Each structure stands twice: as C-alpha cells, then as structure tokens.
Amino acid sequence: MSERDADGPLRAFLDELDFAVFSPGFLVTVIVVAAFLVRPDAAFERMESANTFLWKSLGWAYLVSMFSLVVFVLYLIFGPWGNIKLGAKDEEPEFSFPAYFAMLFSAGIAAGIVFWGPAEAIFHYSTPSPLSGSEPRSTGAAVDALQYTFFHWGLSAWSAYVIVAIPIAYFAYRKDAPMRISTIIGPIVGFDNLDGPMAKSVDVLAVFATIGGIATTLGLVGRQFLVGLEYSGGVALGDTGTVLVITGLTVAFTLSVALGVERGILRISYFNMGLFGVLTALAFVLGPTVYIVTVGTQALGGYINEFVTMSLYLGAGETGGVGADGDFVGAWTIFYWAWWFSWAPFVGLFIARISRGRTVRQVAATGVLASTSVTIPWFATMGGTSIYLQSSGQANILGTLEAWAFDEAVAGYPLFEALPGGELLTVLFLVLVTTFFVTSADSSTLALAMLTTGGKESPSTINRVIWGSLMGALASLLMVGGGTEALQQAAIIAGGPFAIITLIAVAVMISTFGGRRAVFLRENESSSASTGAAASEDD
C-alpha cells in the first residue's frame, strides 16, 4: 500500500471537518471526561448545582415550551400545511413506510422505553403525583401511574423531534441547504450565511445537547444490562466492569453506524421492532390481560382529558419556581422534557435525513401519532403488569427496588421472573435492551458526525468512531461517578438551552409555510400544475 493510500482515510476525515463546530464539541467532551477522571466529586457537585437551578427556577419554561410544540405539531398534522412536500413535487419517499417507521422509532426514544417501561409506573404507584391526590398503592394511584407514564412518553416526547426535523428536511430537499441544525435559521440569517458565527453557534449548541442526551441514554441502558447480569446470573462487575460493558456496547453501535443507514441502522431497526412486538405480546398474554386493558383504558382516557392540565402543572412553587410538592414535576416531567430537548438535535436531524419525498403531514403523523400509538401499549402492558404483580403479592417489585437502592434498572427482572416463561422473557428483554441501545446510539453518532462535517450526509468512518468512543467514555464515567442521578442531571443541563432552538423552528415554519410563496406551493402540489411553475414561484 502506498503512503498516499494509507493517508487516504485520515485525509478524507480532516478535509470534511467543520472545525468551528467539531473543535468546541470535541474539546468540551474531553474536558468533561477528564474532570470526572481527575476530580469526580467536584465535577458532580458542579453539575448538581446547575441542575438544581435549572429545574427549580426555570421549570416553567420547559413545560410551556413543550406544550407549545405539541399544539403546533397537531396543527401541522390536521392543518393545511400538511400537504407540503419535503422534496420535489413528484419525488417518491426514499424508504418504504415500514422501513421509515422502524428507523424513526428505533432512533427516537425506544432505548429509554425499554429502560423505563417496567419501572416508571411502579414508582408513581408508590408515590402518586400531587396533581392526582390519590392514596399511595390504591386503585386510583394505579390509574394515575399509567396516565402520567403515557404523558411522559406520548405526544410531548415525540413532538420535539418532529419540530426539528421538518424545517431541516424542507430546506435541505427544496433549497439544497446543508443537512445540519443551523439550517433551521436559514430564513433568518440567509442561506448564504450558514457559515457565519450565529449559524455555527447553533450547531455547537446542538452538539452539546446531543452529547448530554446520548450519554444519558448510553449510561442508563448500559446500567440496565449490567443489573440484568447481576440479578439473573449473580455476575457483579463493579466499576471496571461498567466501563468494559459500555465500551463493548459502544463498539457494537460504532460498527453499526460505520456500515451506514441501509446496511446497519435499517437492519437492526427491523429486528428491534419485531422483537419489541413479540415481547409486548407475550407479556400481555402471559400477564394480567384483563387488568392491563381495564386500567390502561382508564389511564388513556385520563391522559386525553387532562393533557392540558398535566402539561402546565408545576406544583405550588415560590416565585414561579418548583416548590416542595412540585418535586414530582422536577424529578419526572422536567427531567423528561429536558431529555427530549437534548435528543431533539440528533433525532430531528436523523428523521430529516430519512424523510426525503414525504409530506409534512406524513412526517408529523408518523413521528408523533404513530409512535405514540406503539408506545402506549408497551407502557400499559409493562406498567400494568408491574402494578398488578405488586398489589396482588405475586412479586415484590418495590421491595426489590428498595434492596437495589431504588435503581430503576432492576424493575424489569422481577416482573418477568414472576410470569410464565420468565427466563425466556428475561433473555428477550436483555437482547432488546442491547439492540435498542445500538440503534439509538448509532443514529446519534451519525448525527454528531453530520453536525461536525457541515451537514455531510455520509461522514467518514473515522469521524463516527471518534464520536462513538467519546460518548461511550462519557457515559461510563457518569455511571461510575454519579450513577443514574448524574445522568439525569446531564440531560437537564444539556437539553434546556436547545428548547429555545425548537421555538425558533416553530417561528421559522410559521413564517415559511404561512407566506405567499408557501400558499402557492401548496396549491400547486395539490393540482396538476407543472413542477417547473411551482419551483419558479418557490424560488
């Protein structure tokens, strides 16, 4: 091999980099990793202080922002802008609907769904939300527990992703804008100025949010895998084992992302959805089926009827902050909203990447309504089964949680253990944990690589490997240094600032889709007018 050939991959990597975006993200991540290595206690205290300030003083901003996104997404689905094509007028979608949905769902919050599915409802059953007023471990608490779980993982969770994805896809596929987060502000700064300081700042912010969000998920799901090994097989690996296991999982998703979208992410996404459906169906049939349907239906009705109230409920705080009885909101709702905001850059960018040829309505409805319709049965089944087993005395899931220092990662194992065929269900659960981990991580790593190469749709393998390695290292150190609490704090800190970008995205879409040119475009897309006429007017 010649020296020139040997230098090829490295030269390609250096040539593609957007150093103004790559360097800050890379350096800050390295500094954070070093801080947790050298002074873990001090690093954790700093992070804890920042987290406390954000959710106590600015909790209202998270809630109002997310509620606004849900309202706007529903308008996109049912309003006149839904017909706008993300691509040329006659362009067909790049992927079939099954492939599109499998990748979208797997890349979204699916890894978190597996983690929290058996855990969240049982926590709410033991400590109900102040809004419900239910007695702990009562029938009312069971319904409220599922209702709040649906709320945290339903329409709101997916809306943030769609809000980011649609304007990027629209400008990328209709105006040849780069595939990056700063494309959202193209109409504000001008598409010719997307290499300017403001656009670079948006991309850097997206990198920071993505780093915090994906490190949280890698740590949580990696912890669930480790707990499964210890609970089921008595294998306790310790801190060194934690690092080694997350490193191994990191290698797996790095290999997947290196293969690309069609060869890597798509294939694993299909496998994920199949296994997800099988495990949900088995737990539903082998578990308390009638109870799941009864309590789940009541919870769904409460979720629909009280959606606005839950979305804006903050607790009795002082001066607009979160007060004592608002600790539930801070520990759960605000954490989740911040987590979704921190995932919005990379999931939104990934959805934009796979949405060419689809309409605004198709993307919004698939990303929010279809995803929620799959999410709710999972939480109804897992949460309902967990509560039933606890209340009937067939399994002491709360006792197991207490014995494991209330580590949420352990909740699924006593649940499956108590069902017929528990050993098989546990194995399937561990496999699902691993594969969903891989798809969430590889899509986020691809997005980071795209962000740091100026929007390149197929970044170099070296770039993807670098980000995969950094994310794995950060997740490992957060787990070792502060556990689940540290991961949750990282999500809130990283996600908060990006909420501002999602609101800017809403304003940009209102301006773009509501303008005279967009009106003309919509009319032409629903008529037999020529593509050339539409393109001429749109330009």
% of the chain with per-residue pLDDT over 90: 39
Write down the pLDDT at residue 195: 86
- Cα 200 to Cα 198: distance, rounded to the nearest angstrom: 5
The 10 Å CB-count burial string (b at 16+, else e) for 348-376 is: bbbbbbbbbbbbbbbbbbbbbebbbebbb
- What fold is seen in the domain 15-538? Amino acid/polyamine transporter I (1.20.1740)
HSE value, Cβ hemisphere, 13 Å, CA-based, for 185:
20
113-127, 184-198, 225-239: least confident range = 225-239
Residue 101, pLDDT above cutoff 60: yes
Residue 131, pLDDT above cutoff 50: yes
Conformational region of residue 238, where left means phi above 0, alpha means psi within -120 to 50, and beta covers everything else = left
Write down the pLDDT at residue 533: 39
pLDDT, tens only, 242-255: 677 777 766 666 66
Write down the pLDDT at residue 156: 95
Residue 341, pLDDT above cutoff 60: yes
Write down the pLDDT at residue 491: 61
Residues 386 and 117 sit within 8 Å (Cβ to Cβ): no
**Which are the contacts of 297, defined by CB distance < 8 A and separation ≥ 6?**
none
- Cα 442 to Cα 357: distance, rounded to the nearest angstrom: 23
**Which are the contacts of 205, defined by CB distance < 8 A and separation ≥ 6?**
181, 497, 498, 501
pLDDT, tens only, 50-84: 777 776 778 889 999 999 999 999 999 999 999 99
**Average confidence (pLDDT) over 104-122:** 82
Which residues are bridge partners to 85 per DSSP?
359
Q: Which of 14-18, 158-162, 222-226 is predicted most confidently?
A: 158-162
Nearest CA to 241 out of 444, 508, 487, 479 is that of 479
- Cα 525 to Cα 485: distance, rounded to the nearest angstrom: 49
Of 234 and 91, the one with more pLDDT: 91
Of 328 and 433, the one with more pLDDT: 328
Residue 531, pLDDT above cutoff 50: no
Lookup result for tokens 């239910």: 134
Residue 334, pLDDT above cutoff 90: no
88-102, 203-217, 272-286, 405-419: least confident range = 203-217
Nearest CA to 127 out of 313, 309, 329 is that of 329
Q: Which of 129-133, 315-319, 474-478 is predicted most confidently?
A: 129-133
Residue 25, pLDDT above cutoff 60: yes
Residue 483, pLDDT above cutoff 60: no
Nearest CA to 188 out of 508, 501, 509 is that of 508
Write down the pLDDT at residue 523: 46
Write down the pLDDT at residue 312: 93
Residue 90, pLDDT above cutoff 90: no
DSSP string, 274-295: HHHHHHHHHHHHHS-HHHHHHH
Write down the pLDDT at residue 13: 64
Residue 539 to residues 355, 506, 530, Cα–Cα distance (Å): 21, 21, 14
Write down the pLDDT at residue 536: 38
Residues 215 and 473 sit within 8 Å (Cβ to Cβ): no
Q: Which of 86-95, 160-169, 428-437, 460-469 is predicted most confidently?
A: 160-169
Reported confidence tier of residue 504, pLDDT bands at 50, 70, 90: very high
Q: What is the chain's mean pLDDT, rounded?
A: 81
Residue 532, pLDDT above cutoff 50: no
- Cα 168 to Cα 215: distance, rounded to the nearest angstrom: 24
Reported confidence tier of residue 537, pLDDT bands at 50, 70, 90: very low
101-110, 194-203, 303-312, 421-430: least confident range = 101-110
**Which are the contacts of 320, defined by CB distance < 8 A and separation ≥ 6?**
60
53-67, 118-132, 276-290: least confident range = 53-67
Reported confidence tier of residue 482, pLDDT bands at 50, 70, 90: low
pLDDT, tens only, 431-475: 887 777 777 666 677 777 777 887 676 777 777 777 777 777 777
54-63, 265-274, 316-325, 445-454: least confident range = 316-325
Write down the pLDDT at residue 486: 60
DSSP secondary structure code for residue 93 in this structure:
P
Q: End-to-end alpha-carbon separation of the chain, Å?
A: 49
Reported confidence tier of residue 123, pLDDT bands at 50, 70, 90: very high
Q: Which of 46-60, 88-102, 261-275, 507-521 is predicted most confidently?
A: 88-102
Write down the pLDDT at residue 252: 65
Which residues are bridge partners to 359 per DSSP?
85
